[in-house]
Amino acid sequence: MKKKFLSGFMAVMVAGFVLAGCGSGGNTETTKGAGTTAAAEESDNFNAEGFPIVKEPITLKVVLGIRNQDSLMPPNDMPLVQELEKKTGIHIEWDVIKAADWSTKINLMFSSGEYPDIFITPNTGMNVEEYGVSQGILLPVDELTEKYMPTYTERIKAEDSDPTLSLVASDGKKYSIGYLVGQNINADQHFFINQEWLDNLGLPMPQTFDELTDTLRAFKTGDPNGNGQPDEIPLCITIDSGNSCVRNMLPMFGVPAGGKWLYIDEDKQIQFAPTQQGFRDCLTWLHMLYQEGVLDPEVLSQDDNTVNVKKTEGNIGFTVEWRLMAMGWDEGITKTHTLYMPTAPEGVEPQIARYLEVAGNGAFVTSSNQHIPESMRWLDNLLETSAMFSMYYGEEGKAWEYDAENGKVNTLITDTSQLRDCLDCNALFFAPTKYISETFNMSPQRIQKTEYCQRYDAAGVIQKYANRYLDMAPLSSEQREELSLIQTDINNAVKESIPQFIAEGVTDKSWDAYIKRFDNMKVDKLVSTYQEGIEQLDID
Amino acid sequence: MEKQRKKKLSLIIKDNWQLYVLILPAVIYFIVFNYLPMYGIQIAFRDYKAVSGIQGSPWVGLKHFQNFFDAYYFKRLLSNTLLLNLYSLLCSFPIPLILAILLNQIKNPARKKFIQTSIYVPYFISTVVLAGMLYIFLSPTNGIFNTLRQTLGMKPVDFMSSASAFRPIYIISGIWQSAGWGTILYIASLAGVDTSLYEAAEIDGASILQKIRYIDIPSLLPVAGMVFIMDCGKLLSSNTDKALVLQTPGNIPTSDIIGVYVYNVGLGSGQFSYTAAIGIFINIINFVLILSVNKLSKKVSNVSMF
Amino acid sequence: MEKEVKRKRKSSASNKAFHIFNAIFWIIVMFIILYPLYLVVIASISNPDAIYRGEVIWRPIEFSIRGYKAVFAYKELISSYGNSIFYTVTSVIISIWVTMSAGYALSRPTFPGKKIFNFMFIFTMFFGGGLIPTFLVMRDLGLYNTRAIMILMGCVSVWNVMVARTYIQNSIPHELYEAAVLDGASHFDYFFKCVIPLSKSIIAVLVVYYGVSKWNDYFTGLVYLKGRELLPLQTVLREILATLQLDKSGDYMMSVTENAASLTEAMRTANVAKYCIIVIATGPVVLLYALLQKYFEKGVMIGSLKG
């Protein structure tokens, strides 16, 4: 009896599997093949020129991805958004999603077949290969931008090189409107040294690698902050958190590693950073400093939060960062530090990672959008200069204004930590290099950063080809999936090896064992796939 | 023969229809919330594409399982997860029992009430805050443990980045978090014990320890046994949130558990089917474990789940 | 007589020793439990940098209420509090009813099909379709973005059913049932008139288990709700905690804000707010448990047997 009951039960279960599966599952509104042509029909309601964009008001659904730390008021409460609605005649239903919840919600959206008309995603990810090229949920926008987005197109044409090349997918088409906050920079991270301490100890700016090492040691023993305590932290970094991490120290040893632990060398060859001699040298050096107490003893466990506090206090001798001003360290390292020209050990050239100012994914239109021309014109309007700056900074007159003398934009707002009445840096913002230097009076911190970049460039220490090209390589969805599994294993291996090397040092034996690990992780596959990928790009 | 069996069935229903009515709401719940969606298990055997739906996605059989077994760190993930949970279970299982028994012996009702009300509050400290506090207590520069070490003449240790310290930190903080919570059930069980048993034991001149041994423990045994068996069904699961906040680059060799791996993979790209396959693998192992422990428990004692 | 007196003296001496040990034990345990909780409270009104430096030990350092300000700046805070209370109370009532009924049925030794039901329930603890199929089913049933799903999701837990079952099996003597049957009672009669009144302790436990689980749940609201009016407390509070999540996706691209100082400020605030959240969210639960205290006291059983 019992057995019969059980087997009967199992049979019902299996049947349930099969039957239920036939019913639901998947979406109900697929528009197959909609991804191929952009033959968006213009309805009678649509105004091809002028405002409002529509004769009778329509509603569009927009999903906006924002950063975790942003707190915005509901967009439809924002005065700017309300003005926008009056001007364009288009009402927006906003769905604001934080980066932390982004992938969960997007997956649910795509699985249930209910997507919005427009995605705005400057700060959250979107798998263009998968959802655009393969599945046709996101539409190609090349023809649409030509036809309906004059502001956007003009701005691109005015540049010396096309900043939207980075948006081209593996099928040669672009699927998004670009997001680019031009800052006139070409380097990612810079090194900074505590000038005040140098002065206090009467030391010159170190000109060679060995001088740097000795200077750091002097910081430790010489009591440069003059308080009689040996509490100085000569070198303050983290293992892998934030900008001041071990990876960003590698450029000083000739290894400009990017986030994938790969970089492009001068001969356009992809190199795997973790097994380079420079990597070994860097860790040997860090181990030595760790033993001497010159490297922050908390390096093995501290994260960016902790290091941030230290930078605010300013008790640091040397670090690597994005910039100094307007980072919250005004009483700390912003006051005391100055740019350091990187010096490498004998026989090596320092290679700072190059930063390429190209567009990221700003906005998408989906296959369920019934008002494509209207949407494109609406997006174009967002890029109109005063609308764009208002969405990013806040109200004209309060958060920014036109300079009386040169007519460019000046920012007035300083504190952006409270509840915001604009979209902040989650707004659609497209300001390539030339455009921004013509329209925007760069704030002091940006001018300073540009200066750093120019100095490094003049000294010839920036790598020739930016690692960004790796992201632009036309890989298919299947390739990306395969590589991401390899990447996870590699990241773990490197992440745990670095603290081991720093704490215990590098011996021939441990180094060989370390390298061997990567042989089993299909690193060759990673490198060769990307190599083929970038060869299809024109990166000169 | 047929008639006899049929008669039995209708009699069964007639005699027990009230029980079926009583259990019906729970059955409906599980059908709606668990069995209807169960066709989704297929995701692990397909290359799931959102637009194609589950049925439309291509069937790939055991490919994702194979990928998981081939992952470079597979063995380590497995052993880290299992060991972490096993040690946790063995260390933390007895504590709520001991606490409940000792609490039961407190005579002063006001004190007893106070302790009872506050003992489980650590359960509500979110993992993020717990980790924050641990980082502060264990900091090599100004954490209280290391300051103590220094006054005793020992060198400070960076506990949070030590692979060998990870498990103890995880387990001990886990005990702090949930031991009090675990006492709730046992206190309730002890409250249901017939007081006349205690009176009889008192008359017989039993000491407190004897009362505990002969009354308290046997009355807790069925519930405790059930809790233990249920916990064995989680030996390959992961408290991913907690492991993530406690993981530092230094302790990865022991803190890299399956849940963290799944989280990192999920960040890379969709990888839906892959993570689903891992989930099924975990659940199958858990299921086998709980069935085995249940069987063993049946043989050894009378306590079992089914 | 002498032997008895000796035995009593011996046992009272060992009892005394036991009580002394117990007292010391509990003083230590209470300190270990309460100190970190105290720390949370004082941290919630301290300056975040001081917390990081490990200066906040016995009292608040650099008093500041910025964390509480940040939490209360959310206009949904009050309404989400109300939502959570509503969802929790309604859900717990349903949960108790369904769980005790099922637990009772499963506790009957001669319940035909018991093994199948047991298996059916326990199977769901291990195998399930996952988030997406569940989401699709809920949507097809019209439960998406409703109060109903906030109440019903998770309102029955196999674990709790098993706990109820075990309790009923072991704490309610079978003789009671036999006596009731002799009096002509049906299952319904016995269940409602005898079992429920005698199960006050376990019902109290279930109220706490289900109540806390529902109160702490942030995920259901995140996945199944669209409108912000229906959000429960934890989902709203979680948005504050999301601020602390550092970008771990490999390429740490500097945020392109004009003034990254505000990013640091936001993180500082969140680092304090996480303590404030605990204070705000935990209060009612402690209250609930204090109210239920009396059901955890000894002697609950006496009445029934004598009656």
Q: Which fold has domain C76-245+267-306?
A: MetI-like fold (1.10.3720)
- The answer, for A304 touching chain B at a CB cutoff of 8 Å, is no
Confidence check: pLDDT of B93 > 90: yes
**Longest alpha-carbon distance in chain B:** 87
Tokens for A31?
């528009």
Tokens for A430?
């497209």
pTM over 0.95: no
* Candidate from A298, A498, A517 with C-beta closest to B139: A298
C240 vs A396, higher pLDDT: A396
CA distance A22 to chain B (A): 7
**Containing domain of residue A504, as a range?**
190-353+465-535
Q: Which of A417, A469, A483, A489 should one mutate to test binding to chain C, selecting the residue with the greatest count of C CBs within 10 A?
A: A417
Q: Dihedral through CA B213, CA B218, CA B222, CA B228, nearest 10? A: 10
* Candidate from A99, A258, A305 with C-beta closest to C267: A305
- The answer, for A37 touching chain B at a CB cutoff of 8 Å, is no
CA pair distance A445, B210, nearest whole angstrom = 75
| pLDDT at res. B153 | 84
Tokens for C167?
């309790």
- Comparing A205-219, A339-353, B269-283, the range with the smallest average pLDDT is B269-283
Residues A402 and A489 in one domain: no
**Tally of CB atoms within 10 A around C190:** 21
Residues in chain B: 306
Strand pairing partners for A61?
A93
B133 vs B97, higher pLDDT: B97
Contact A521 B72 (CB under 8 A): yes
Q: Dihedral through CA C172, CA C178, CA C179, CA C184, nearest 10? A: 120
* Residue C169 · residue C201 · CB < 8 Å: no
Mean pLDDT of A82-94: 93
A280 vs B161, higher pLDDT: A280
- Comparing A141-145, B167-171, B298-302, C290-294, the range with the smallest average pLDDT is C290-294
* Residue B247 · residue B255 · CB < 8 Å: yes
Mean pLDDT of A228-243: 89
Q: What is the 3-state secondary structure (H, E, C) of chain C?
A: CHHHHHHHHHHHHHHHHHHHHHHHHHHHHHHHHHHHHHHHHHHCCCCHHHHHCCCCCCCCCCCCCHHHHHHHCCCHHHHHHHHHHHHHHHHHHHHHHHHHHHHHHHHCCCCCCHHHHHHHHHHHHHCCCCHHHHHHHHHHCCCCCCHHHHHHCCCCCHHHHHHHHHHHHHHCCHHHHHHHHHCCCCHHHHHHHHHHHHCHHHHHHHHHHHHHHHHHCCHHHHHHCCCHHHCCHHHHHHHHHHCCCCCCCCCCCCCCCCCCHHHHHHHHHHHHHHHHHHHHHHHHHHHHHHHHHHHHCCCCCHHHHHC
Q: Which of C33, C114, C172 should one mutate to test binding to chain B, selecting the residue with the greatest count of B CBs within 10 A?
A: C33
Chain A residues whose CB is inside 8 A of the B40 CB are 25
* Residue A463 · residue A253 · CB < 8 Å: no
- A94 Cβ contact partners less than 8 Å away, ≥ 6 residues apart: A62, A63, A64, A74, A75, A76
Mean pLDDT of B55-68: 89
* Residue A391 · residue A427 · CB < 8 Å: yes
| pLDDT at res. B12 | 76
* Residue A426 · residue A122 · CB < 8 Å: yes
Mean pLDDT of A183-208: 92
Residues A214 and A337 in one domain: yes
* Range A320-353 burial, b when 16+ CB lie within 10 A, else e: bbbbbbbbbbeebbbebbebbebbbbeebebbbb
**Percent of chain B beyond pLDDT 90?**
33
CATH number at residue A247: 3.40.190.10
**Percent of chain A beyond pLDDT 70?**
92
CA pair distance A256, A249, nearest whole angstrom = 9
Chain C contacts in chain B segment 55-94 (CB below 8 A): none
Mean pLDDT of A391-400: 88
Extents of the domains making up chain C: 15-64, 76-245+267-306
Which one, of A359, A362, A360, A358, lies nearest residue A120 by Cα?
A: A362
pLDDT in tens, B229-239: 989 989 999 88
Tokens for A222?
């010489």
Tokens for B18?
């009230």
Q: Which of C51, C52, C143, C170 should one mutate to test binding to chain B, selecting the residue with the greatest count of B CBs within 10 A?
A: C170
> Does residue A40 sit within a domain?
no
| pLDDT at res. B53 | 79
pLDDT in tens, A20-79: 444 444 433 333 334 434 446 788 888 888 888 888 999 999 999 998 878 788 899 999
Residues A84 and A231 in one domain: no
**Percent of chain A beyond pLDDT 90?**
52
Which one, of C180, C305, C307, C16, lies nearest residue B197 by Cα?
A: C305
DSSP code string of A226-263: -SSS---EEE--BSSSSSSBGGGTGGGGT----TTSEE
- Comparing A192-201, A413-422, C121-130, C139-148, the range with the smallest average pLDDT is A413-422
CA distance A517 to chain B (A): 9
Which one, of C287, C277, C282, lies nearest residue C72 by Cα?
A: C277
Tell me which of 3.40.630.10, 3.40.50.1000, 3.30.420.40, 1.10.3720.10 is the CATH number of domain B74-124+180-300.
1.10.3720.10
Residues A82 and A194 in one domain: no
Residues A317 and A428 in one domain: no
CA pair distance A313, C50, nearest whole angstrom = 12
- Comparing A36-40, A237-241, A300-304, the range with the smallest average pLDDT is A36-40
| pLDDT at res. A328 | 78
| pLDDT at res. A212 | 94
pLDDT in tens, B132-155: 888 878 887 777 888 888 888 888
pLDDT per residue as tens, chain C (307 positions): 666 666 656 567 888 888 899 999 999 999 988 888 888 888 889 888 888 777 778 888 888 888 888 888 777 888 999 999 999 999 999 999 999 999 999 998 888 889 899 999 999 988 888 888 899 899 999 999 999 999 999 999 999 999 899 888 888 888 888 888 888 888 888 888 888 888 888 898 899 899 989 998 989 998 999 878 899 998 888 887 777 665 544 333 444 455 666 677 777 788 888 888 888 888 777 777 777 776 666 544 433 343 3
Cα B120-B123-B129 angle, rounded to 5 deg: 135
CA distance B38 to chain A (A): 7
Chain C residues whose CB is inside 8 A of the B136 CB are 51-52, 54
* Residue A237 · residue A296 · CB < 8 Å: yes
Categorize the per-residue pLDDT at B244 as very low, low, confident or very high, splitting at 50, 70 and 90. confident
Cα A437-A443-A449 angle, rounded to 5 deg: 85
Chain B residues whose CB is inside 8 A of the A128 CB are none
Contact C135 A24 (CB under 8 A): no
Categorize the per-residue pLDDT at A201 as very low, low, confident or very high, splitting at 50, 70 and 90. very high
| pLDDT at res. A407 | 86
Burial class of residue A175 (count of CB atoms within 10 Å of its CB; 0-12, 13-18, 19+):
buried
Contact C261 A104 (CB under 8 A): no
How far, CA to CA in Å, does C226 sit from each of C73, C143, C223?
21, 12, 8
Residues in chain C: 307
- The answer, for B199 touching chain C at a CB cutoff of 8 Å, is no
Mean per-residue pLDDT over chain B, rounded:
86
CA pair distance B146, B167, nearest whole angstrom = 19
CA distance C300 to chain B (A): 6
DSSP code string of A135-179: T-SBPP-HHHHHHH-HHHHHHHHTSSS-TTGGGB-TTS-B-SEEE
Chain C residues whose CB is inside 8 A of the A6 CB are 115-116, 119
- The answer, for B304 touching chain A at a CB cutoff of 8 Å, is no
B224 vs C306, higher pLDDT: B224
Rounded to the nearest angstrom, the gap between the alpha carbon of residue C43 and the centroid of all alpha carbons in its chain is 24
* Candidate from C135, C247, C270 with C-beta closest to A108: C135
Extents of the domains making up chain B: 74-124+180-300
CA distance B54 to chain A (A): 5
> How many domains is chain A partitioned into structurally?
2
Residues A395 and A347 in one domain: no
Residue C94's closest chain B neighbor by CA?
Answer: B25
**Percent of chain B beyond pLDDT 70?**
96
Chain A contacts in chain C segment 170-229 (CB below 8 A): 222-223, 226, 228
Q: Dihedral through CA A439, CA A443, CA A445, CA A450, nearest 10? A: 30
Question: Residue B152 carries which side chain, given as an amino acid letter?
Answer: L
* Residue B258 · residue B236 · CB < 8 Å: yes
Tokens for C168?
């009923």
Which one, of B230, B270, B262, B229, lies nearest residue B243 by Cα?
A: B262
* Residue A72 · residue A64 · CB < 8 Å: no
Q: Say what the ipTM of the complex is.
A: 0.84
pLDDT in tens, C171-207: 888 888 888 888 888 888 888 888 888 888 889 889 9
Tokens for C155?
């309102």
* Candidate from A303, A425, A445 with C-beta closest to C246: A303
A94 vs B204, higher pLDDT: A94
| pLDDT at res. C246 | 57
Q: Which of A9, A485, A494 should one mutate to test binding to chain B, selecting the residue with the greatest count of B CBs within 10 A?
A: A485
Rounded to the nearest angstrom, the gap between the alpha carbon of residue A423 and the centroid of all alpha carbons in its chain is 18
